Amino acid sequence: MSPMTVAALEAGLHVLCEKPAAVQADRAERMVRAARKAGKTLTFMFNQRTNCVYRAMKALLESGEMGAVKRMNWIITDWYRTQKYYDSGSWRATWAGEGGGVLLNQCPHQLDLLIWLCGMPCAVTARCGMGKWHHIEVEDDVTAFLEFPNGATGVFVASTGDLPGTNRLEIDCERGKMVCEDGQVKVWRLSANEREICFESDNPWYREEAEISVLKTDGENPQHAGVLNAFAAHLLRGEKLVAEAEDGLRALELSNAIHLSGWTGERMEIPVSREYFNRELDRRIASSQVRNSGDITYDTDHSRTGGRTT
């Protein structure tokens, strides 16, 4: 989408682009630069930001009531896909055709929300299973350990091979925690800041019955219509967008860092070297094999026979 977006911006048009912005962060960076140069608006379809559940979490975190984030964990594995899904298009789950798997196809919204709620990680160490659960080239199972500038840590788990899967986001803060699951957010509130309790309490085995409640929301979840309406309102009246141009770039920088760490086994500081990432991606594209779904058959133990292998 990067070439079309840049061409549209250079032609004097405002652009609302689908996610992800691109495969490589440097392509997304070109889009952001083109928007700035043209003086035009560039935004992305991060429609999950309009979900009342995530908006309520964002408001509570920004209020300061919960204190600083100490740890976050997101298990987002309810993306289950069968082999038939991947065989439905020759471009699917190939480096040359798609440029990635669960990170690039299913998870851009969650990576954006992670940054939106908790801030941008500064480093990542990841393990990416390439074709771990399916006959594909790209990652279908990811576990990433995240480090944040304030010392907080996080774990992000995604897969298209878990059945039944889980969608559970937990954010642990100085004054309690919140857990988002099954369409609601439970909040545990402490009587004081845990950092104060830790160093001021005389009880070595201190425990507290935290106040537990369900976070109230406005119930509104406009999704794509909400992003489109905000885009129009911004152009007509200068109102706030759902997502800025730089947000599309940041989500891709995190995705690129997880990929690169998964490929190399290295701890990656964010943003990663654009050249390093592109070089490693190009290596995989060079050996990528576009599948011919009509040639794929399976024997009784579900291993692939016939057609091209990945």
Domains of the chain plus CATH, in order, are 2-292 (3.30.360.10)
pLDDT digits 0-9 by tens, 247-291: 999 999 999 999 999 999 999 999 999 999 999 999 999 999 876
The token pair at 14 is 């405002």
Q: What is the pLDDT of residue 231?
A: 98
Query: Environment class of residue 170 by beta-carbon count within 10 Å: exposed (0-12), middle (13-18) or buried (19+)?
Result: middle
Q: Residue 212: phi, psi to the nearest 5? A: -110, 135
Q: What is the pLDDT of residue 296?
A: 41
Question: H/E/C letters for each residue in the chain?
Answer: CHHHHHHHHHCCCCEEECCCCCCCHHHHHHHHHHHHHHCCCEEECCHHHHCHHHHHHHHHHHHCCCCCEEEEEEEECCCCCCHHHHHCCCCCCCCCCCCCCHHHHCCHHHHHHHHHHHCCCCEEEEEEEECCCCCCCCEEEEEEEEECCCCCEEEEEEECCCCCCCEEEEEEECCEEEEEECCEEEEEECCCCHHHHHHHCCCCCCCCCCEEEECCCCCCCCHHHHHHHHHHHHHHHCCCCCCCHHHHHHHHHHHHHHHHHHHHCCCEECCCCHHHHHHHHHHHHHCCCCCCHHHCEECCCCCEECCCCC
Q: What is the rounded CA–CA span in Å between residue 30 and residue 279?
A: 18
Q: What is the rounded CA–CA span in Å between residue 270 and residue 275?
A: 14
Q: What is the pLDDT of residue 34?
A: 98
Q: What is the pLDDT of residue 248?
A: 96
Q: What is the rounded CA–CA span in Å between residue 209 and residue 223?
A: 37
Q: What is the rounded CA–CA span in Å between residue 281 and residue 246?
A: 23
Q: What is the rounded CA–CA span in Å between residue 237 and residue 59?
A: 24
- Those residues with Cβ within 8 angstroms of residue 198's Cβ, 6 or more apart along the chain or in another chain: none
42 close to 31: Cβ distance less than 8 angstroms: yes
pTM of the model: 0.92
Instruction: Give me the tens of pLDDT residue by residue for the chain, a chain 310 residues long.
Output: 789 999 999 999 999 999 999 999 999 999 999 999 999 999 999 999 999 999 999 999 999 999 999 999 999 999 999 999 999 999 999 999 999 999 999 999 999 999 999 999 999 999 999 999 999 999 999 999 999 999 999 999 999 999 999 999 999 999 999 999 999 999 999 999 999 999 999 999 999 999 999 999 999 999 999 999 999 999 999 999 999 999 999 999 999 999 999 999 999 999 999 999 999 999 999 999 876 544 443 333 333 323 322 2
Q: What is the rounded CA–CA span in Å between residue 181 and residue 53?
A: 10
Q: What is the rounded CA–CA span in Å between residue 307 and residue 78?
A: 29
- Tell me whether strands 15-17 and 42-44 are parallel, antiparallel or unpaired: parallel
